[in-house]
Amino acid sequence: MKSIVLVVLALAVLAQADRDLSKFTPKHITVRPKRPAPIPRIVGGQEANRHQFPHQCALFIDGGSFCGCSVIDSKTILTAAHCVDGARSVEVVCGAHNIRQEESTQQVRKSSDLKVHEGWDSWQIINDVALIHLSEPLELNDQVQPIDLYGGSDTLDGQQATVSGWGRPSDSSSGISDVLRHVSNDIISNKVCESYYGSLPESVVCLNGQGGRGSCNGDSGGPLIHDNLDGGKKEVGVVSFGSAFGCAIGYPSAYSRVSHFLSWINQNRKA
């Protein structure tokens, strides 16, 4: 892979917002692809229905950065290593739709400790997964639910998956989305993805960026979901990196492959 650029974009201050996000930077790792950039297009996707993704949570890191994450049990949150690497403490907000407001369905929890994968390498962008252990369990209900993790051997190439988050809704946006959004596209083979980014490990899964649809700054650490695996919804990826040319230009977005890390996740869950 080519040189890595961490995108740092200050969030705009929103007047009359209940939750002030002006000090939080939406995290995302970008890689300069091998291919030239096509004509930019607006990021696809749409606003989620309220609590359509009850596993989705927001992550506020050290009072300065913003990421996505997902509930995997009442005490454990799954996210990307690059979101919490070096962090002292994080705050997790679950059950939210409009993240700038303090809704009655929201549950806010502090971390008791953070577990970054021992093999995380920020230069090569490998083993980009981490767990957050909560100081107090979440109350599981219709608005806050754990997501099952996919542990199968299928590469899932050609199958549709959905990524959700509060990340920037377009490359021209100055900050994250107020409301939770989602977008679907097809999973592509690593061979196809390598034609953009160079050599990739098996622990990465890529989502087609066709139509300018994919993840962006602030979505890092969030879930990539397949709607029907083994009879139900499963998390198959964790948002890891995208193109340095922009989120909406049609390049693939890359995710840590959950099945590759399932043993590590289960070994390090909150007891």
List Cβ neighbours of 227 (8 Å cut-off, separation of 6 or more). Answer: 160, 162, 233
CA distance 223 to 122: 20
Burial 132-144 (b: 16+ CB within 10 A, else e): bbbeeebeeeebb
- Catalytic, 55? Answer no
- Catalytic site residue from 28, 55, 70, 82: 82
- Cα 144 to chain centroid distance, Å, stands at 17
Cα gap 58→90, rounded to integer Å:
10
Task: Judge whether 220 counts as a catalytic residue.
Answer: yes
Q: Return the ∠ at Cα 197 (arms to 194 and 198), rounded to 5°.
A: 60
User: Which candidate in 173, 220, 256, 259 is catalytic?
Assistant: 220
How far apart are alpha carbons 2 and 240 in whole angstroms?
A: 15
Rounded to a whole number of angstroms, the distance between the first and last alpha carbons of the chain is 37
Catalytic residue status for 3: no
DSSP-derived 3-state class of residue 84? helix
Q: State both tokens at 235.
A: 């998390």
Pairing of strands 65-73, 25-26: parallel
Catalytic residue among 70, 128, 164, 243, which? 128
Phi then psi dihedrals of residue 195, to 5 deg: -70, -15
Could you give the residue numbers annotated as active site? Answer: 82, 128, 220
